[in-house]
Amino acid sequence: MTGTVRIGVRDFKNVRRVVIKIGSSSLTYSSGKLNLTQIELLVRQMADLHNQGKEVILVTSGAVGAGMGKLGLGKRPRTIPEKQAVAAVGQGVLLHMYEKFFLEYGVTVAQVLLTRGDFADRRRFLNARNALEKLLQMKVIPVINENDTVSVDELKLGDNDSLSALVAALVDADLLVILSDIEGLYDQDPRNSPRAKLLHEVFDVTGELEAAAGGAGSDVGTGGMVTKLQAAKVAGETGVPVVIARAAEKNVLCRVIKGEVLGTVFWPRGCRLEYKKRWIAFANTVAGKIFIDNGAKNALIKHGKSLLPSGITAVEGCFDIGNTVSIIDAGGVEIGRGLVNFNSSEVRKIMGKRTTEIEKILGHKDYDEVVHRNNLVLLGSTCW
């Protein structure tokens, strides 16, 4: 961690590395065309943070929106090929505008396009991290977007809220700021209830909060509050606080960094995991689920043990050796993720059995553990 954040106190003045995510609705008008005034105001604030010596990483939406404006489209494209084509047009427009505005303040930017594959593959994950670290050392602001032009459903991160959280974990950020057209998280949907109250801080993203978050975002964006809550959970599990605030608020970035009570801050629950465990928990694709009993749960959580076959009650999905699986307790709650030492067919055969029976059942035994504790990440653990 390069800066210091006191949990429960909005003390962000000393953070050194901040990831800033800007949503499509904050960059474009309802017509789909770029809101140049808004972009310039946000760029000026980011340039000011950069001049203060802070390392700034920008995760930006808006490629599809910019393409819509360039092509004169009135509605957001629906199919993947349409989105790819429109993004291909808009990507250049968007970067050109960022380069133009940042250059006015003497700041160099670099475009970085990422897909799910860049996070799921361990080597590409490390390569992306090293490239971003080098750019920051060179005093360059990385401008990151999902590579919509080549992404398909299986590869898409889903939205840039999720992308920003993964980037924050990737670069060991001190703070993630998500800017949108909404002020923050409310206790109920403000579009439907005039009694809705803004929550200034959140210590745990519960099911009730997610239910109150509402649905999708605007016509020019893909993410609503639900995706922002998911991003806050991912960032929080890796020790990164998150602030969600309204992009149009005057000097919003500078005021957030100074500790002013704007929007909603989500305080992290988890430890700052080592990079390998961050990759296991959030970057790698989950290939299946393993359900365990309470005895196995206690062994994992209270005693730091590996997952043995005796505590497994069910298996879901088709996975191979080395894949990431989700570990589910008896109540249906995901408590962890890990890399498996057996494929799904083998786990089904040995679940509920003792380790001494593995060789007899399978005809071989390379491991006692289905998931070794060194390849296991428990979600929701605290170490503050």
Bigger pLDDT: 184 vs 281: 184
What is the rounded average pLDDT of the residues 292-315? 95
Contacts of 381 (CB under 8 A, 6+ apart): 269, 270, 271, 301
Q: pLDDT at residue 272 above 90?
A: no
- pLDDT tens figures, 3-30: 555 556 788 989 999 999 998 888 888 7
Supply the pLDDT for residue 151: 54
- pLDDT tens figures, 122-133: 788 889 999 999
Structural domains of the chain in order of their starting residue, each with its CATH number:
17-276 (3.40.1160.10), 286-378 (2.30.130.10)
Supply the pLDDT for residue 234: 82
Supply the pLDDT for residue 4: 56
Bigger pLDDT: 280 vs 105: 105
> How far from 382 is each of 170, 203, 239, 267, 378, CA to CA, in Å?
20, 12, 9, 12, 10
**To the nearest whole percent, how much of the chain has pLDDT over 70?**
88
Half-sphere exposure of 16 (CA within 13 A, CB side): 9
Least Cα distance to 143 among 163, 123, 158 occurs for 163
- Residue 1 — very low, low, confident or very high, per pLDDT cuts 50/70/90? very low
Q: pLDDT at residue 384 above 50?
A: no
Q: What does the mean pLDDT of the chain come to?
A: 85
- pLDDT tens figures, 198-217: 889 998 777 677 666 654 34
Q: How far apart are the first and last CA of the chain?
A: 14
Q: 245: which strand partners?
A: 179
- Residue pair 159/3 in contact by the 8 Å Cβ criterion: no
**To the nearest whole percent, how much of the chain has pLDDT over 90?**
49
Most trustworthy range by pLDDT among 21-25, 50-54, 84-88 = 50-54
State the Rg of the chain over Cα: 22
Measured between alpha carbons, how far is 382 from 378 in angstroms, rounded to an integer? Answer: 10
Q: pLDDT at residue 2 above 60?
A: no
Measured between alpha carbons, how far is 174 from 267 in angstroms, rounded to an integer? Answer: 12
- pLDDT tens figures, 54-70: 999 999 988 888 888 88
Measured between alpha carbons, how far is 185 from 348 in angstroms, rounded to an integer? Answer: 42
Supply the pLDDT for residue 150: 59
Contacts of 253 (CB under 8 A, 6+ apart): 20, 42, 45, 46, 49, 177, 179
- Residue 383 — very low, low, confident or very high, per pLDDT cuts 50/70/90? very low
pTM: 0.80
- pLDDT tens figures, 216-230: 344 434 447 788 888
Supply the pLDDT for residue 149: 57
